[in-house]
Amino acid sequence: MIDLPQPTGAELWPPEEPGPQARLHKPWRTLVAVVEVLLAGLAGWVAFLCWHDSVATVVTTTDDGAVLESHRYFGGLLAAAIGLGTVAALLLVDAVRQLALAIRARSPKPKA
């Protein structure tokens, strides 16, 4: 076993950067979370519309009276619906993060 010297308080790595510490607790993050939830709802609604508009039913009647029904799928609208659903999910995850930072994160108390 190799015994390496342990760093003391003055030798901690990485060294602290000069300047003021960034604060995570910012109350305006609540507004950002609300806007993201609204945008996620809008994206979900548009995704729902795209999904339902991506399928067309085609009904054909033959000469002998048989009714043939088929479905036509539009890949662009399906891809848009999946993409918008993904964007809505990411917006909701980030809204939860923003809300958590707005409520809980506080700057560390100065050492005495």
Cβ burial 57-95 (10 Å sphere, 16+ → b, else e): eeeeeeeeeeeeeeeeeeeebeebbeebbebbeebbeeb
Cis peptide before 14 (omega within 30 of 0): yes
Burial class (CB in 10 A: 0-12, 13-18, 19+), 36: buried
Instruction: Give the pLDDT of the chain (112 residues) as one tens digit per residue.
Output: 777 776 666 666 666 667 666 666 677 889 999 999 999 999 999 999 999 999 999 999 999 999 999 999 999 999 999 999 999 999 999 999 999 888 875 555 666 5
Angstrom distances, CA of residue 61 to CA of 64, 69, 70, 71, 112? 8, 9, 11, 15, 87
Pairwise CA distance, residues 74 & 50, whole Å: 10
